[in-house]
Structure 1
Amino acid sequence: MRYLKKGESVSVLEETNSYWLQVRDASGQIGYISSSSKYVNLTAGPTEVADAPAPVNAANAVIVAGVSFRTAPSTSGERMRYLQKDELVTVTSQVNDYWYAVTDANGQTGYVSTSSKYIKLTGGIAASEGGGSTLESGGSSSEGSSSSEAADAPAPVNAANAVIVAGVSFRTAPSTSGERMRYLQKDELVTVTSQVNSYWYAVTDASGQSGYVSTSSQYIRLTGDIPAPAGGGSGSELSSTPSSAPGSSGNAEAPAGSDEPARPSASAQVESVIEAGMKYLGTPYEYGSSRSTTTTFDCSDFVRQAFKDALGVTLPADSASQGEYVLDKSQVTTDWKQLKRGDLIFFMSYKGTSASLYQSKDPFNTRISHVGIYLGDGQVLHTYSNESGGVRVNSIQGRHWEYRFLYGGSAL
């Protein structure tokens, strides 16, 4: 809105989190400023905002990990901001199995995932007046299957009657030529709506998305009966696409004789990415490098190429977009010591070698300028300049890399 001037007095209305203060200037305008002592000197405690409505209920939940705060109970709802770990909120209602309606400390109302990965209830949810319905009705999607956000879809018609035993392709047709929409994850609950043939089930996931998976007991286990099709008769296919027996071009997800290998474990995928990245050690650095060649890399191009070579996964083309991708894909951490091998690790711009230069950083609102692959034991595989030798391994601890670190998490 504007720069506050040195010597200007403001009223601190609230400490929003560890990084930001809500303040009101002499003209009555309300906004947010950094809480860093470099910029503001508190002379008294925060004052009450007389004209701001207090939240209806006391806080009854705490944020466990950074999570999207949306305008609607769906991943198609606009993300207003990320609620931060340890932030207190008030859950005013549970819209459905996937979404809470919540109010933050500023009185802003929105929606967050009900997943225990993101939020923990510390008190009861107040009953709506008159026993009415929740804030918003209608089908909405879950914020995450295996920590990633699912697409907006109607609720499934039937209760779950199967559990995924190991990661398996979720396809658009009952054939390996059908496009893979995503991998269903181990322990994910699904509804088998019919058995297309000996090799394929038609299933609906928790977000209401329909597709096909292998009938192999390596990948899926029935926990209930498959519903009979309406009007009797045999099970009908969701798609008219013909399916094939094992060994043909349309075989199922790695049954005996299949030519499609089983999906490697998460740890095997991590090692494949790291191995692919390590083969580029010493490759020269070039800012804005071409994504169609491996003769030079910038940081995000290098990470992208390692995933592409190892897994056939194409990540976004720049570090900021890769950061958004990881935020939507997995639970992230702002403590680099909690990172896991193979996590992507994101940094802000270089300001110098002193830790004090980075005290005002806001992990989820500071611009990402660099990315690397975490190897464990405080080591990062990345590239940032020709002078440093191109693709290389650096230690994080006690160096500007530690001070610049914003957050990290898995892209798998």
Structure 2
Amino acid sequence: MTIKKGAMLLLLLTAMLSSAPIHADTLPQTHVKAIYLDDHKLQLEVEPLLVNDTVLVPMRELFEAQGAKVSWNSDTHTVKATKGDMVLTYRIGERTAYKNGQPLILNVPGQMSDGYTMMPLRFVSEALDSIVKWDASTRTVRIFSSATNAFDTKILYGVNLRSQPDSSNDSIIREMLPVGEKVQVIQEVDAMWLEVRTRDNKTGYISAKPKYSDYTSASLADRQADELIAYGEKFLNRPYEFGAATDQTLTFDCSSFVSRLFKDKLSIDLPRVSYNQAKEGKQVGINDLRKGDLLFFSARGLDIGHVAIYVGNNRMLHTYSKELGVHYETLDDKWMKRFVTARRLF
């Protein structure tokens, strides 16, 4: 055989291999521990596959779990999925799908495995406007559906969109999100950071402090309260001084202590004295208290002359005594007789 004929034969074999249908059961399979859709674990009929760093799962379950209706043409191996006015068509084995007639490229094509039609999870979910996150350390996939990720979080104060959930130099500032812009919250990373997506499809991290957006949730408030209380605990036994200066932490009075904690941990600026602090946030009933709420009491002949932070389990963190300094105390009958109001700031 001449070199020219050998080269032609090699090209022919390469073309045949690249066009032949690919079957997942011939490829390496790597265990995926779990798949969650909006925090609900998906119960799949067969184990998902991991092929070339792409997770594949049973086609029908993937589409229907995210609200799409599916039809299947067994003669042409073509799937048609509809959701609202969106129509997605795809022929198994090909690298191009069509969403409302527009071509979309798949990194890994859909495949047949043990009688199941397996589709790339990320491709399908993003085509349905969901967001997909892969946690390599736990081998867990999380899908955040479009239904729970509307652009309903409003930016209240210009905030940096960062590449990582921290403010170090390693975290790149991608852009400044202006006041009034709306974003999708993908997930609460921790007490201080939210992962978000902008309307122009950029993802990143913004501060979860209440100063920067109107996003709220019970879970975030609970986390932030824990951070606030843990920070306050660092000052246990710190001496009490009436009228303590607000630019230092060697001494506190009740309102300077509360003001310092809220500013340092949550970037919430409060007035200097407890009477004016009691005008901030929104009022809550004594039976509806949660961690982090402020409690106001009469003191020194004033209608409101003392403030404390509620820490849960009928306890509060505050200061008013030179002997005790900053300390925990039970919200007992003695204090309830002087209770005036409670306010919630986050």
- TM-score, with structure 1 as normaliser: 0.36
Quick check: which one's strand share is greater?
A: 2
- TM-score, with structure 2 as normaliser: 0.42
Quick check: which one's helix share is greater?
A: 2
| Structure exhibiting the larger radius of gyration computed from Cα positions | 2
